[in-house]
Amino acid sequence: MSTKIYVGNMSFNASENDLGELFAQYGEVISVKIISDRETYRSKGFGFIEMGDASAATAAISALNETDWLDRKIVVNEARQRTERPQYNY
């Protein structure tokens, strides 16, 4: 079963490839997604990693949380389940 990880306070210059390489040293990375603004396409400064092994994900979280990466102190923890938000009709 895969584990999804939240990574926050990232440099706006970080790429999905950079982020994947950072986590790959702890185990198999299944997917990487940096969240971007819909209008400007600029990074919002956070993203998600999906790792194939729960123990590798735990090791990555422990090792990388509160560390300096690309001149920012990143926040790394297990992602929470996404909650349903109400749809607004404008």
pLDDT tens column, 14-30:
999 999 999 999 999 99
Is residue 79 within 8 A of residue 48, CB to CB? The reply is yes
**1: three-class secondary structure by DSSP:** coil
Domains and CATH numbers, the chain: 3-78 (3.30.70.330)
Q: What is the pTM of this model?
A: 0.88
Task: Give per-residue pLDDT as tens, 30-78.
Answer: 999 999 999 999 999 999 999 999 999 999 999 999 999 999 999 999 9
Q: What count of other Cβ atoms lies within 10 Å of the Cβ of residue 53? A: 16
Is residue 11 within 8 A of residue 72, CB to CB? The reply is yes
**41: three-class secondary structure by DSSP:** coil
